[in-house]
Amino acid sequence: MTSYGIIGTGHLGSMLAEEFVRRGAISREELWVSNRSQEKAQRLARKLGVRAADNLKVAERSDVLFLCVRPVDLKGVIAETSELLTPEKLIVSVAVDFSLRQLENLCRARAARAIPSVASGKGLGVTLLVLGSDASEDDRSLALSALRVHWLAGGGGRGAAGGAIRSHQQRARVYLCHPQGVRPGSLYAGWKGG
């Protein structure tokens, strides 16, 4: 059984936790949450029926760990938990301004970035998923199934999304994802504009 964790239960982290549970992507027993101000994580845990703990315990218990703190706090969270972030784990950062290379340089875990949009909270938005060099096809499936999205474009630095980002993420695999079956062409046009 795969266990999931979320560190940082602010706007994005709590939105993801609620979506994971509401849509049945992750069962309550498999989801752990933590937050700097612990009562916030405990409140969310009570509301959703998931488990709250501190960062170290959540990092220890999770096979897939979503890092949902602001970029300025991310290095600190990784430093605190780095001993536990072993190659057996997948970390998924949602920070907009923190590269995969930075993540990979700071810990030994396999790394990915997922950038959901506000509409993801309604099961509608586009999510950009970028896999690091050590992340596997299984990791892609795990991330996509937790986020309940399907990839529409990109992969291996090719395709519409891949081409757009190739210059910044030479080794990365980039996927443009959406919960529903929207045509990739129209999605990509919207994403480029926004």
Ligand X SMILES: NC(=O)c1ccc[n+]([C@@H]2O[C@H](COP(=O)([O-])OP(=O)(O)OC[C@H]3O[C@@H](n4cnc5c(N)ncnc54)[C@H](OP(=O)(O)O)[C@@H]3O)[C@@H](O)[C@H]2O)c1
Query: Using CB under 6 A, which of the segments 21-29, 114-122, 126-134, 177-185 binds ligand X?
Result: 114-122
Q: Does 69 bind ligand X (CB under 6 A)?
A: yes
CA angle 38, 83, 7 (to 5 degrees): 30
Q: Does 64 bind ligand X (CB under 6 A)?
A: no
Nearer to ligand X, 10 or 123 (CB): 10
The residue within the footprint of ligand X, chosen from 18, 25, 27, 36 (CB under 6 A), is: 36
The residue within the footprint of ligand X, chosen from 25, 56, 115, 164 (CB under 6 A), is: 115
Q: Which two tokens stand for residue 23?
A: 């849509």
Taken in order 154, 130, 41, 73, is the CA torsion positive or negative?
negative
**Rounded CA gap, 178 and 31, in Å?**
23
> x/- string (CB under 6 A) for ligand X, residues 40-59?
x--------------x----
Segment 158-177, which members bind ligand X (CB under 6 A)?
A: none
From the centroid of its chain, how far is CA 58?
A: 15
**CB-based closest residue to ligand X:** 10
The residue within the footprint of ligand X, chosen from 3, 4, 5, 8 (CB under 6 A), is: 8
Q: Which two tokens stand for residue 87?
A: 């190659």
Query: Using CB under 6 A, which of the segments 1-9, 18-26, 134-142, 146-154 binds ligand X?
Result: 1-9
> x/- string (CB under 6 A) for ligand X, residues 89-108?
-----xxx------------
Which strand (E) or helix (H) includes residue 87?
none
Q: Which two tokens stand for residue 95?
A: 């920070």
**Rounded CA gap, 155 and 165, in Å?**
11
Query: Using CB under 6 A, which of the segments 71-79, 140-148, 166-174, 176-184 binds ligand X?
Result: 71-79
Starting from the edge strand earliest in sequence, which strands make up the sheet with 31-34, in order? 51-52, 31-34, 4-7, 64-67, 90-93, 110-115, 127-131, 173-178, 150-154
- Residue 114 beta carbon to ligand X: minimum distance, rounded to whole angstroms: 9
**Rounded CA gap, 74 and 56, in Å?**
14
Q: Which spans of this chain sit near ligand X (rule: CB under 6 A)?
A: 7-13, 34-37, 40, 55, 68-71, 73, 76-77, 94-96, 115-116, 118
